Structure formats: structure tokens, C-alpha cells
Structure 1
Amino acid sequence: MAGQTVTAELYAEVQHFYARQMQALDSRVFKTYADSFTEDGTFRHTPGTEPARTRAGIEAELVRFHEQYQGDPVQKRHYFNQIVLDANPDGTLKSTVYALVLRTRPGADRPEVWPSCVVHDVLVTGADGILVKSRDIDYDQQI
């Protein structure tokens, strides 16, 4: 297998980081989500589009994107699993994650899975904890 393994402790820290980050996103606390990126971070959530850049740009993109759900009582839950975490020679971490997004509406018989994705992150660690330097998301249905 490629990549340099990381400690179990670091792996657990990354899992905890992702849990907090996804709960902020699902709660629509976009500033908290954007603050989980480096100041110069990039975030491309829709294949074929230009990434949002900087924390302020990421927050603004999330606000813009979620405007389509105004008046829609949809609740989204992002599930990250199958995390592959490798140390890069420059000290960053390469993270590849399978992600499912469940959408639920009041009165629905069951949630729907939309979309199924692969998330490609570059993570940095430091005094501010773990931060995302770049995130690039691919949707399985567009492969």
C-alpha cells in the first residue's frame, strides 16, 4: 500500500475533526465550518466548478449554495467513513474519505442518499489543531 502510515492517535484526531466539521456543516454553522480550513484554503464541493478560496470565500459559497434550500425543511447529514490517511513528505496529510449525504424531510418514509462521494483532502496540523488546506469532492454518479 502506498503512503506513510500515521499513528492511531493522529487517525483518531482526524476522525474527531471530521465529526465536528460535518456537524457544523449539517447545522448550517458555516463560519465554524469555514474556520476549519486554513486561511488560504480551497473547497470544491461540486465537480466541474471552480473552488471557493479563503475562509471568507468558503463561508460565502456555503451561504450561496444553501439559498436553494430556503423554505425547504430538508435536513442533511454528512457521513464520513473509510478514511485513508497518509503522511506526505512535506508534513501535510493526504486524506481520502468515502462520504454519504443523507437528506431527510418531515413526513418522508425514509431518508435518501444524495450524493455518494469521494472526498480528497490535504490536511495540516499545528498549533491551531487540524485544518483543511484543500478539499476536492467527486460524486460517484459522475464518474
Structure 2
Amino acid sequence: MTDTLPEADSLARVVLHSEVQQFYARHMQLLDAGRADEWALTFTEDGVFAPEHRPEPVTGRAALTAAVSGAYAALVEKGEVRRHWHGMLDVTQNDDGTVGVRCYALIVGTPLGGEARVVMSCVCEDLLVREDGELKVKHRRVTKDGVAAPV
């Protein structure tokens, strides 16, 4: 199949895709390390995390920090390590400058002395914006496999 986009457009897509992958690598490693304050800074001040399997979305950096801090402390007490993996990224540059990303996400849990297991498989849909030249999550929607109808 031949790409009909001009070479500059094709290169811009590759660069954006690489930038988004690097964003998620840092973003998820901060989360998995329990660095809640730094992780929350990867969202806009009014950023929204809306997993469908939770009753209410988490909105704003302070609430995001509190939620991650609490969840991480519970995992430490339980003796479990969690790793988040985002893959199969479909990245779209929108006309308004925002970036849409739809990807698959796996959460792997490993109890101390135990075997790794997939805790959750889901679809993550993000709207990313640029603030001071950096990508930030404006809105995240997570659909957990097995809860809603397949998409």
C-alpha cells in the first residue's frame, strides 16, 4: 500500500506518534512508582480521569494525586507491584491542535513472591493538549473489558 500523504505530513505523524509513546512511558512509570504528584502534573489542572467501571470520574490534579496516593499505599500494604502498559496506539492530530489517542491498556499485578497476572484489560481514550510545549491529559476515558459491550 502506498502512502499518499506528502513526505512532510508522514514524518510529522511519525514524530507525533513517537512523542505520544514517550509521554505514556513516562506517565505510566510515574504511576507505577507511586509518584502521584508528578503523575498528576501530566494532566491539565482540570484534567479528568473517567473509568466507566467507577461511579464518578476523578477531576483535577489534587483529586488525581489523592486517588493515586491512596491506591499506591494500598498496593504497598498488600505487597503487590502494578505495571501499566499502553499499546496499539492510534494517534490522531486534531484540527484544533489537540491529540486524540485510543489504545489498549493492560494492568499487570505481581504479588510479593508470586506470579504476574493480568489484573485488567481495557481501552483507554485520551484527549491530549499541549501546555508549555508538553503533552498533558485533558480527558481520559477507560472502558474495562468485560463490563461494557465490546467496542
Q: Does 1:16 align with 2:22?
A: yes
Partner of 2:144: 139
1:42-95 Cα offsets, whole Å, 9 max, x none, are 112452421111111111122233454352110001111000011222221110
Partner of 2:132: 127
TM-score, scaled to structure 1: 0.88
Alignment counterpart, residue 87 of structure 2, candidates 81, 89, 109:
81
Alignment counterpart, residue 75 of structure 2, candidates 64, 69, 79:
69
Question: RMSD between aligned alpha carbons?
Answer: 1.9
1:68 and 1:126 mapped to 2: Cα distance?
A: 32
Q: Name the SS of the counterpart of 1:84 in structure 2.
A: strand
Displacement, 1:31?
0.6
TM-score, scaled to structure 2: 0.84
Partner of 1:26: 32
Please, which runs of 5 or more residues in structure 1 have no aligned partner? none
Q: Does the 8 Å CA contact 2:100/2:127 hold for their aligned counterparts?
A: yes
1:126 and 1:57 mapped to 2: Cα distance?
A: 20
Alignment counterpart, residue 122 of structure 2, candidates 113, 117, 124:
117
Alignment counterpart, residue 50 of structure 1, candidates 34, 56, 71:
56
1:127 and 1:94 mapped to 2: Cα distance?
A: 18
1:79-134 Cα offsets, whole Å, 9 max, x none, are 110000112222211100100111001221x2110100110100012424110001
Please, which runs of 5 or more residues in structure 2 have no aligned partner? 1-9
2:75 and 2:52 mapped to 1: Cα distance?
A: 16
In our comparison, the structure showing a higher alpha carbon Rg is: 2
